[in-house]
Structure 1
């Protein structure tokens, strides 16, 4: 059985990855901060799908715990076939806030440094075996200008593209997943207001993850699941930056 390791696996997109991968028969290693919630998730997946689920509690802001996850990815005896770098959270501070640095430091640890460390550990191990896949969850926010979060997710996509270059010809693929507005608890937990977001802009987590898994299996470098978000991002790629700045300001102000 192939084995997938998923960070941030107990909620939102990560939980949906765990469910869909278990449903197709993959064994799992699930990573999150809350050990009790991890255990509940593992028990549900084992009972529902009959797969092996290993629990690995880790706060990826803690470098020692992140190193333990990296060591699991590097295991020769218990190889990981798919890494889903999903752990993340929304951000509140503006770039010019005088107290932005604590939140920014935390975000950089979890959503960038850990992605680099875990992607590197997985890439080295998979390259030796000649097979494997890495999914780094980025965001369509990288195509607009929404403060620190957009900047970090832009770096995640650039990292994914660079990692793919280094792994070219090795049998290992890298995919940057760029979700749009997804119906999960992410925004509520982050305290992000969504009342101004049109209903048509939202997509369901199962649809997102189905598209992401399909794109990953095909070795696609950047995955933007669902037709409406593909169109939106295609427009964003060619639109003048002045227009992107204008749209970003409207989103930021909630208008």
Structure 2
């Protein structure tokens, strides 16, 4: 069976990814900070889908804990990870000038450094096997950030990072996709007391619907998934200049003679 590793897997979008991928027959590696929640989720997935589920409790802001997840992605004695979902994220709600520096550094550690390091750990093995996918969960806030939001800036980085990684994987059998959801109903709103939009509002999305749209876009070969017609319409307009530049770059590249790479990549 293929194996999927999901960060932030005990709640919200991460839990929805685990449910969907488990239902599709993926063995699961669940990563989050709270071991009790992970164990409860793992028991539910084993019972519901009959798949193997590993639990890896790790705070991705901690370099040592992050290194444990990297080792799981590269360990040749364990089942290789075919799908990596970088979903874990931290959001500081305080505006930048008033926020504590430690909180901002935690945002960067989880939202940027962990995405970078786990992707870097997973991709070489995927290329060697000739198959695999990395899904990086970004946010619509990465396109239109609220004022003073370091979180939104980190998600803009995720969008740009995934775009350039996806371009580097052409022809390898490996895909990279950035998921760009808008407002998603999760239990985070219940815990923090933040308001949730009314049912049926086009600005609010359910986690399972977001995940279904994301995986459908991945299968279509897309490198960006923006579920919901409202968000897709806005992002479609904002992406036009970048798409045009990509097309020009491809046309220019066809007319160049490039040297072969210094290191060959084995493919299946």
How would you bin the TM-score normalised by the shorter chain? Answer: 0.7 to 0.9
Question: Which residue does the alignment assign to 2:129?
Answer: 129
TM-score (norm 1): 0.87
| Offset at residue 103 of structure 1 (A) | 1.1
> In structure 2, which of residues 224, 227, 230 is the aligned counterpart of residue 228 of structure 1?
230
Deviations 1:57-91 (CA, angstroms, capped at 9, x unpaired)? 11101111111101111123320000000001332
Q: Which residue of 2 aligns with 1:113?
A: 113
Question: Counterpart of 1:29 in 2: which secondary structure?
Answer: strand
Matched with 1:244 is: none
Q: Which residue of 2 aligns with 1:83?
A: 84
The answer for unaligned runs of 5 or more in structure 2 is: 242-268
Report the CA distance shift for 1:103/1:223 in structure 2 as closer, same or farther (over 3 A).
Answer: same
Q: 1:46 aligned to 2:52?
A: no
Contact 1:76–1:125 at 8 Å: present in 2 too?
no
For the residue of structure 1 that corresponds to 2:211, the secondary structure is helix
Cα deviation digits, residues 77-135 of structure 1 (max 9, x gap): 320000000001332121222x4311110100111100000011011111111110000
Aligned to 1:251: none
Deviation of residue 148 (structure 1)?
A: 0.9
Matches within 5 A, 1:73-222: 73-77=73-77, 78-97=79-98, 99-146=99-146, 147-190=149-192, 192-194=194-196, 199-222=201-224
The gaps in structure 1 that reach 5 residues or longer are 240-255
1:242 is aligned to none
Mapped partners of 1:186, 1:160: distance in 2:
25
In 2, the alpha carbon distance for the partners of 1:53 and 1:45 equals 7
Secondary structure at the aligned position of 1:175 is classed as: strand
Alignment partner of 1:69 is 2:72: no
The structure with more radius of gyration = 2
Distance (whole Å) between structure 2 residues aligned to residue 139 and residue 159 of structure 1: 13
How far does residue 195 in structure 1 lie from its aligned partner after superposition?
6.1
TM-score using structure 2 length: 0.83
Q: Aligned equivalents of 1:191 and 1:44: distance in 2?
A: 27
CA contact (8 A) 2:56 2:69 kept: yes
Report the number of matched residues: 238
Question: Hey, what does 1:31 align to over in structure 2?
Answer: 31
Structure 2 vs 1, CA of residues 163 and 235 (structure 1 numbering), >3 Å: closer, same or farther? closer
Counterparts of 1:136 and 1:81, CA distance in 2: 14
